[in-house]
Structure 1
Amino acid sequence: MQEGRSGVDGLKRQLKRSWLNPCFRYLLLFCLVLLVFCSSNSLSWWSSFSLKDRYPKFINPVHRPPLSRDRSKDRVQLNETTEQTTLPPTVPPKALQFHLAYPRNYHFVMDNKEVCKTKTPFLVLMVPVAPKNVAARDAIRQTWGNSSEVQGDVVLTLFMLGLYRGADVDALQEKLQQENRLHHDLIQSDFLDTYLNLTIKTMVIMDWLATRCPEAAYAMKVDSDMFLNIDNLVMMLQKPDIPKLNYLTGMLMWNRPVIRSKNSKWYVPVEMYPEPLYPTYTLGMGYVFSNDLPEKIVEASKSINYFNIEDAYVGACMKKLGLSPQSPPDPSKFKAYNTKFNRCEFSKIITYILGSPKQLVDYWNDLKRPEPPC
């Protein structure tokens, strides 16, 4: 017993000497701090790490360096309807407000903020388009985006672009500035213009409408490959029973499953959107909304984490607001695909997805012939 007692006393004296050692105390303190930190932050830290590691293609820089080495090239002459500014410096990810989809993380580098002040639009058509796709923009300018007045109401058509990534970025940016000086219809923000960033692009559209054109009655997000029968759309919105507030309509999508297959272009990982089904939403080819909604959608987006299906994301924001998209007065007017051009059919619809800018111009010119379509 005495031997055992002596061993215990020796161990106590050894631990006492270890505790008196400053290095030992610092090591113990560090372990305690690390334990507290890990217990409170390990889940969120690991979640963000795994998302970045497994899905780097979904994570894009908020900003990028200036478009040219000579910052003076990033400016154009200011006039009444066009403003060009230099790009802001790169902002680290920790400077993000809320998440990637929140539009006020981004800044307009080409703007036409005065266009809604000359004449208050009844309808604003916002067209997301790739920076290099000038053919689509020109086709729209020749067809359904050509008129500033439709059925007696003011209609405005604008194109939303992000930043191009490529070796010829400086030359392309100069061409975009020239195009904007000619047409005054380009809006460009400093997110990277990619397919996976369509949610960001759409939310920046909402932010532009909320901050630059709040007096408009209605707006439409319409893809650049669409045939839009603008007369039929305006006549629909002029009907007295069409709501003027909290109104979103188009081709409705109900109970759509979230695609988890990594081989699909519509793949969304569980980390981005955990629910198995999307809320009811309007198909992204073209949806119409009362212009009180953009500010509300931007606000709701603060609590809706980013995922890369833009039309479903808007549906999630609507659900957060306690609102639902509504069926149009005649759902048959919002159509996706057609097998061939039929003049009578195209005179009755509002939307169709087309195959090329040339197709849009050809179909439009045929439809506008003086002979009755049916």
Structure 2
Amino acid sequence: MTRQIVVGGGEAVPPPSWPRQPASILRTADEALDAADKIASLAARDAVKRDREDLFPGAELDAFSASGLWGITVPAEWGGADLSYTATGRVIVTIAAVDSSLAQLAQNHLATIAAIRSAATEEQKADLFPLVLEGRRFGNAFSERGTKNVSDLRTSLVPAGDDVVLNGIKYYCTGALAADLIQIVAIDQNGLSQLAIADRNSPGLTVFNDWTAFGQRGTGSGKVLIEDVRVPVSRVIPVWKSYVPEKPFPDSAISQFIQAAIDAGIAQGALRETEQFIRTRTRPWVDSGLEKATEDPYLIQIIGSLHVRLSAALALLDNAGRIIDAAIRDPTPATVSQAQIAVAKAKILTTELAIDAADRLFELAGTAATDRSLGLDRYWRNARTHTLHDPVRWKYAIIGEYYLNDHLPPLHPWS
């Protein structure tokens, strides 16, 4: 990004500059985790300032994508590290613990890599994967408003010779503000979902900076207006194929897995802040007779409980990552459903823990922690906003149906 963007200004935003700093090529999980630690340290420096002043993390995003972390799931046969999803999840947790908006900016990018892997032709992979490895970023244009439900999409895709023409309007477009390529989900004339990869500077494609949510401010997840946008047929991916019941791919599990990792990171960051505040500022309760808040047995019990649940959440994420990897190697209805169920378990716990840990921060730290200059409320606002992506009450139902009635989870991006 070449200029500082204040999120929510409402204006149309031009594409980011290119070329930028070339992206590194990471090869191992250790390299990826080391890079994640460095990006987390960079993001932590001004995290409170960015949240308080509604600043888009442009410099941090450029460093994040240049680190090579946005290419770690590209298959090895196309030059990528093809890292496990266990390692990928740990990368996302590390960054989300200091800036969950920055972590979420990579979510749809990584999900698009999964879609290319599962549904694109070999020619499309040869076109798109090298772009990812050189540092190009995907931005989302998926969700819509005013329809019957989240899967009822109205954006159209009509053949026009060697191109297709798209029309529609998208909302909650995470990553689009600073993307080089916009992945647009549209419905073709047969009612099938297609993923059209449009250049960010395509005529008729306008990205608006109008994100006004109280949390995840740094994602800049505004709307995208699509007016007679032309995309070459060669960049239209039949993503519906990933959700065919007889031959599915674990794309939905991958998308949900990254969302769960973001929530785990929020919980981890909130818990760290809680402990630091208690050690340095929280006073013992008047009736305790204690010298320090860190000696309070009730407080100690709650901190211990949060750590137990965080360890369980991280273990569920690791396990889900392993099961996703197995489903990628051998995609069948059974292995894909196993991945979905494993991710659903993790998603339930990370959702509930992120909200609880962010709330407990204030209960345990005390009134002084509500000082706006500290920016500690960002954890709760981010947790509450991000966990609205899909309701965990339906995750419980999916898991119960799977074990009690042998019903496989529904095949769509929210399960």
Taking structure 1 as the reference length, the TM-score comes to 0.27
Answer with 1 or 2: which has the greater Rg.
1
Q: Which has the higher helix share?
A: 2
